[in-house]
Structure formats: structure tokens, C-alpha cells
Structure 1
């Protein structure tokens, strides 16, 4: 009984391998999965690149909104503009002195 079942399965597999439609379909699937210019590996790389670019887009969108908000504050409020100029560009009034304190590295002993 076991031998008959084994022979039946072997004959069935051989008939399937001799079927031209099966062979063409199998060759097509192998070609599309591994050898085509849009194979699985390439699709995976493109998907990873797309995710990375979407994250960068979101980051730069947030940064642009923040910079636009700061620009609006600077153009509408003279006190903020003065504070920004003093802190960022070390500007001063004619009768003032500016001292810049640079924090050095802490050395562990």
C-alpha cells in the first residue's frame, strides 16, 4: 500500500514537471522574484528608502513650521528681535561690553 502511494505521488510529480504550463509559470515566478529589475530585494530596498524619506519629510516639515513661527515672532516683536540678535550674533549697544563664557570639558581625575 505504501509503495503504491509513493509511486502514485512520484508519477504525479513527474507529470507536473512535464507540464509545459507549469514549467512556464514556475520560470516566470522565479524570474520575477529573483532576476527582474524589480525583484523582491529591490522592492525591499525601495520600501526602506521610502520610509526614510517620509521620516525626513516629516522632520523638515516640523522644522519649517518652527522657523516660520520664530520668524513671525521676530518680525512682530522688537524685544524678541533684540534678544535674538544679542544671543545669536553677539550684537551689543554702543555703551555695552559683551563677555562670552565658553564651557570647557570636564576632566575626570
Structure 2
């Protein structure tokens, strides 16, 4: 058995194949910037970009609401009544919860 292994290792192609296999394993799993970590980072980046897009849309929507509230007194009053349950004097507010 030992002689068979040595006879295989004598061929330059076998040495190259073993070296290539060791290199692939090293790059794939053991190096600091290995392939597993690369794919994990790529997945995290995609999630963060999706979150960034969502938050940018939310910011844009909120900016439009702020602009609308600052320019229209009726909308400001409606917003205060709906969000903070504010009311005028001598007025009763009923909250209807739909199930």
C-alpha cells in the first residue's frame, strides 16, 4: 500500500492535483476571507440594501406628510385628532376599533 501511494506521488500531475485540492480547501474553508464567509457577507449585504431601500421610501413618505402638515391647517388638525386623540373643548371623541 505504501509503495502505491509513493508511485502516485511521483507523477507531476498527481502532485499538482493534490496541491490544487489543498489550495481549494484552504481558500474554501480555512482562509480569513474564505468562500463561506464571502457568501454570508453577500447575503447580509443584500438584506441591508433591501432595508436601506425600505427606509428611504419611509423617509420620503414621512417628509411628504411633514410638508403636508406644515402647509395645511386642516390636515394638521385631522392628524392630531387621529393620532393623539386630541379634541376641542365641549367635544366628545369616540374611538371605533374595527376587528
Structure 1 length as normaliser, TM-score?
0.73
Unmatched 5+ residue regions in structure 1? Answer: 1-9, 105-109
Q: CA deviation at 1:23?
A: 6.2
Q: Which residue of 1 aligns with 2:55?
A: 60
Higher radius of gyration, 1 or 2: 1
Unmatched 5+ residue regions in structure 2? Answer: 1-6
- Deviations for 1:4-54, whole angstroms, at most 9, x for unmatched residues? xxxxxx97x933124xxx268523333112211211111111000000000
1:16 to 13, 18, 21: 13
Asked which structure has the greater RCO (Cα within 8 Å, sep 6+), the reply is 2
- Deviations for 1:53-101, whole angstroms, at most 9, x for unmatched residues? 0000000000000000000000110000000001111111002111112
Structure 2 length as normaliser, TM-score?
0.79
Q: How many residues align?
A: 91
